[in-house]
Amino acid sequence: MSVTCVIVIYTLTNVAYFAVLPKDLMLASPAVAVTFGNLTLGVMAWTIPVFVACSISGGLNGNTITYSRLLFVSARRGHLPRLLSLVHIENNTPVTSLIFLTLMSMLMFVTSDVRVLINYLAFAGNLMALMCISSFFWFRVKHPDWPRSIKHLECLTLKQGHKLKSARDLVISQKVSRILESSYEVFYAITFSER
């Protein structure tokens, strides 16, 4: 429900921008939300930067929790150095993963150019997502017999009593089933990061 609310709010916000701001002003504005607030809210225009800051803080909070847990679990399973799998005794938080993420974030601040910083962040996030998704394909090829949490849809499989025309049809159906299983695992990884 919360994802739906966010989608509706962001869509309506963009509709409001397009309804109020002319094209030239929108293209010339360094911050469209602030320009929108100045035109429509008057004295209360200061609320726009406050709400933007709240939105950014929430996004950073979610990313910090997600990526630190991702590093923690990867280290615990042996994919990363064991040092990243250490947990605080009382709070059960992955402290070393958080420290590592903090150091990586501070390393990105060596530049004062915001566009370069955005490129660093986008590259790091996309690289991590690519590595996670490609690991599903890697495990599918290298360890095809491991148990999978996601199986392919029953309606897309060939039933045991189904007549195959040749051995080639059987090989093709098995390959299609493996591809479908891998696709569902990727979909699962993208939509449900933690079960």
Tens digits of residue pLDDT in 99-156: 988 888 788 777 777 788 778 778 877 887 788 778 777 877 888 787 766 555 545 4
Domain boundaries, the chain: 120-195
DSSP designation for 30: S
- Distances from the Cα of 140 to the Cαs of 39, 70, 133, 149, 179, in angstroms? 55, 20, 11, 12, 9
| Measured distance CA(61)–CA(2) in Å, rounded | 16
Single out the residue of 133, 178, 127, 132 nearest to residue 157, CA to CA. Answer: 178
Q: Is the pTM of this model over 0.85?
A: no
The interaxial angle of helices 47-76 and 95-108, nearest 10 deg, is 130
Assess whether pLDDT exceeds 60 at residue 164: no
The interaxial angle of helices 114-142 and 95-108, nearest 10 deg, is 130
CB atoms within 10 A of CB 75: 20
- Distances from the Cα of 157 to the Cαs of 101, 142, 148, in angstroms? 43, 23, 16
- pLDDT level of residue 12 (50, 70, 90 thresholds): very high
CB atoms within 10 A of CB 130: 10
Q: Residues 44-79: pLDDT tens digits? A: 989 988 988 898 888 888 888 888 888 888 888 888
Backbone angles phi, psi at 192, to 5 degrees: -120, 90
| Measured distance CA(17)–CA(19) in Å, rounded | 5
Q: Residues 178-193: pLDDT tens digits? A: 665 666 555 555 554 4
| Measured distance CA(87)–CA(98) in Å, rounded | 10
52: Cα within 13 Å, side-chain hemisphere: 12
CB atoms within 10 A of CB 114: 8
